[in-house]
Structures are given as structure tokens and as C-alpha cells.
Chain A
Amino acid sequence: MSAIPSDLQYTAEHEWVRLDGDVATVGITQYAADALGDVVYVDLPKVGAALAAGSIVGEVESTKSVGELYAPLDGEVVEANQAVVDAPETINSDPYGDGWLVKVRVASTPALLSADEYRALIGE
């Protein structure tokens, strides 16, 4: 059973989104982090990059496998979390907090899943 905070929105590709005005903070869910195992490498889009919802914008690798990071919405990257690049294990220990990945200035209102919808999706 993994944590699915009710104040966040989600994608079917296991990203979470926290909307604050027109800036969205994006990370991967605990479910995704647990499935990957220990994260050892993170590749994030650069500040200024234009994201198109659904496109592959980065990678999260564990000892065991590789996960692709999909843009959950359209927008421009305004901040990438260097701390998580330097210490990728933060994604496992605090996926919804210090393990955030990028902040994006949102270009259009995204269509995302609620916590309940995401919980149903992963069968928990």
C-alpha cells in the first residue's frame, strides 16, 4: 500500500503534480518509486525547456530498471531539482517532498487524475 496524497493530481504514467498558481511541481509517485527500487540516476529536462504533455522528458534509473519521465502537462521548465540529481535516493525516501523533479510554468490547464482515480488505476 503506497501513499497517495489527496491534495495532489496524478497521471497514468505515475507522475504527481502539485499546482500552485500557474506553476506545477512534478515528481513520481511512491508506487512508481517502489516499483523501480533504489533510484541511482536521474536525468531531468533543463530550465527553459518547453514541455509537451505526454512527451518523454527525462529518465529515472534504478539498479534494476529504467523508467521514462513523461511531461504531465504543457509548459516551460522553471526549475530542475539538482539535489535529487546529486542524491537520487531522495526519490525513494521522500517522493512527494524533497524528491520532486521539476517545476513547470503551466501553459494550459492540464487534464489529470484525482488521487481516487489514481488509486483505482493502480488497484489499491
Chain B
Amino acid sequence: MSETSQSESPHSEPAPRYSPLHDVHVALGAAFTDFAGWQMPVRYSSDLAEHHAVRTAAGIFDISHMAEIAVDGPDAAAFLDAALAGQLSAMAVGKAKYSLILNEQGGIVDDLIVYRMADTSFLVVANASNRFAVVDALRARVAGAGAFAVELDDRTEQIALIAVQGPASEAVLAATAGLAIEGLADLKYYAWGSGSFGGDDLMVARTGYTGEDGFELYAPVEHAAALWSALTAAGEPLGLVPCGLAARDTLRLEAGMPLYGHELGTSIQPVQAGLGRVVVTDKSAFVGRDAILAGPPAGAPVLVGLAAEGRRAARAEYPVYRGEQLVGEVTSGALSPTLGHPIAMAFVDPAAAELGTVLDLDVRGTRIPATVVPLPFYKKEA
């Protein structure tokens, strides 16, 4: 028996970072994994039980490894329009937007959630693995353009991020002792509201990475453990369980959500990953604009969803064939816990990307037929 785990982390750093909730996870008996140099819970009990809890009730995740970068100043909106792919200046205060930061070649440096905190204040949330790449790129873009009156502050170490996801999550937050959130029931998807916990301010956003209704709570690290305990105490009667990164990965895959290093990368243009809508080209100049307007080279691979039968799942980097012709490579794959059959995302030749096309997944030497299907694989009931 020897295990070849799907790689989550592009590299391991010699000195691991620990979440402000690390002791809580240890006490809960979590198994840990390295994610971009952070020791994070991969599971507490069972990947499948945690996955199903989020689909049917609620799950609580520690995602404090994610990077929070505050962008403040009179030119904050104009700066983000120039630095990112979206038109953040058009976003109202109180809203959130999924965005991308591109390189000059139009490739994806990272995907981001950007929150507008005030007219001249934004919070940019980046992947842990890209924290320094994003901070460096943003700093270079402030300096490069020269004229932006904006300050950047990497607050990753000061902010704990707890996600509560699943159909019961609103009820969990409403029942949490000491947690007050303005207008919780009216908070829209991709919006945030102010809250307080134990007398201190926190930010509550209706965002997530699971395909379910849910919230992400940005709190000072000092209060992380108490907030986790209060949420858990309120949530347990409603079916909430702590969830690790393994469940997070199968949940996001079912929801067709990309993961940097798998579906996204610096040599992949947004349109290839089905994210063309995220790029606003009819705004003022932004990094990557010329390359985006030129588009990727003819025949550049495109991202598709693949569904197969049986129980053997293709994994990242497995080859995809059409007949005897190699047409692509799997980026993520698993036996879908919700759907009960294997699913995968893959970059394939555009000629093989049409819905309904039957391709073959090479699962360690065995060809398994898989059909090109629309993404997402799973969509919550409206």
C-alpha cells in the first residue's frame, strides 16, 4: 500500500505556518495537510460525511490561510480597475465580486474575491499559494503606474477566516451566541455586512467555495477560537460539522469552481477556463488587456466538465484521449460524493470540447469513457 496524494500545494516551506485555530483543530482530532506551507485540517472524521453535511445541513471550515490584502486610498477603485480584470469601480459598497489578476500575457496570476468596504476602501482575498505573488504584483502595479494614491496592507496574519457553508448556515449564524449581524436574512449572495462578536467588529460575507448558500466570517485572530466555538455550539443541533480541505475540494469540484494550480495558471487565459465573463475589456487600460483582446492562440485548450460511470475517478494530470488521439489532460477529478459517479475537469482540444462528446480518461492504463457535460456538475436547488 503506498499512497500518491493529489497535490494541493505547489511547494512545501521548511517552517510551516499555523492557523490561529490550530489548537482547536488538534483538540478536534483533525488530520492535517500542508497547503501552500500552512498546516491545515484535511479532515476531522470522514471526507464524505463532511461533504454530505455541507450539502444537507452545514459545515464549518477554517480557511485562515487565505490572504487578505486591504487596498485603501482616494484612487483605490481606479487602481483596482487598472490592476485587475474586472471593473471594481462599478461595484457598490457592501458588495463582493469574483475577479482575476492577470499578467501581461493575459494569464491568470490568481483568482480573487474583492469586497468594497467603502468608497475608497477594498479588501482583496487571494489564495494562500499566491499570497506573495498577488501582493508583489499589486505593489508593482502601484509603483508602475506611479499616479495611484493607494496603500496596500497585507492583513493575512491579523485576520482569521471561518466559512460556514450549507443550507442551514443562515440559521447557524442567527443562533450563534454573541454574534450580531446587521440584516443577516436580507444579506444577498456576493454581499457583505458588518457584524460584531463579543463586542468586536467583524465582517460577514455571503460568499463561499462549495456551491451552497453560506457565509465567510472575517474576524481578528484573537477572537477566532471563541467564534469557532460559538458557531459550533449553535450549529451542532442543526447538523453542522467541522470540515477539512478534502471536503472543500470535492464540494468546489462538484460546483465547477476552479482551483489555482489546477484549472487556473499563469499560462492560461480566462476564456480558456470559462471565465471570459470576468474580464471587462471596455474599461480603461488594465494589465493583460492587449493579450486578452488578441485572445489565446488558435487551438488553445479549453476547460470542460467530464462525467463517467462506475467508481474509478480520473485525477489531476491523467491524459484524455479521443480514440487514439491525445486531446487533453485532467485538472481535477473525484468520485462525486453527491452524484455518485466520477467527475472531472480537464483542458482539452477545442475540437473535442463540444457537449456530448465522448472522450476516454486514461486511469492508470485503463481507458474509461467520459462524456463532456455542462459545468457545474452540481447546482443547489433555487
Contact = CB atoms under 8 A, between A and B. Distances in A.
B311 A41 contact: yes
Candidate in B31, B51, B311 with the most chain A CB atoms within 10 angstroms = B311
B3 A35 contact: yes
B15 to A, nearest CB: 20
A116 B239 CA distance: 40
Contacts of A38: 46-49
A65 B4 contact: yes
Interface in A6-36: 11, 13-15, 28-29, 32, 34-36
A49 to B, nearest CB: 17
A69 B1 contact: yes
Contacts of A40: 48, 311, 335
B337 A63 contact: yes
A63 B335 contact: yes
B60 interface: no
Interface residues of B, number: 25
Given A37-B43, A37-B246, A38-B47, A60 B1 contact: yes
Interface string A61-87: 111111111100000000000000000
A92 interface: yes
Nearest to A64: B246
Contacts of A92: 46
A67 B1 contact: yes
B335 to A, nearest CB: 5
**Interface size for chain A: under 10, 10 to 19, 20 to 34, or 35 or more residues?**
20 to 34
Given A14-B1, A41-B335, A66 B315 contact: yes
Contacts of A61: 311-313, 335
B31 A34 contact: yes
A83 to B, nearest CB: 15
B1 A64 contact: no
Contacts of B210: none
B334 interface: yes
Contacts of A89: 48
A34 B33 CA distance: 13
B165 interface: no
B2 A67 contact: yes
A28 B1 contact: yes
Given A13-B2, A38-B48, A38-B49, 15 more contacts: A28-B1, A35-B31, A38-B47, A40-B48, A41-B312, A61-B311, A63-B47, A63-B246, A64-B5, A64-B249, A65-B5, A67-B1, A68-B1, A68-B4, A69-B1
A-B residue pairs, 9 tightest by C-beta: A14-B1, A65-B5, A41-B311, A38-B48, A37-B47, A67-B3, A28-B1, A32-B1, A40-B335
30 contacts: A11-B1, A14-B1, A32-B3, A34-B31, A37-B42, A37-B46, A37-B246, A38-B47, A38-B48, A40-B48, A40-B311, A40-B335, A59-B364, A61-B312, A61-B313, A63-B47, A63-B48, A63-B51, A63-B246, A63-B334, A63-B335, A63-B337, A64-B246, A64-B249, A66-B4, A68-B1, A68-B4, A70-B1, A70-B2, A89-B48
Interface of A: 11, 13-15, 28-29, 32, 34-38, 40-41, 43, 59-70, 89, 92
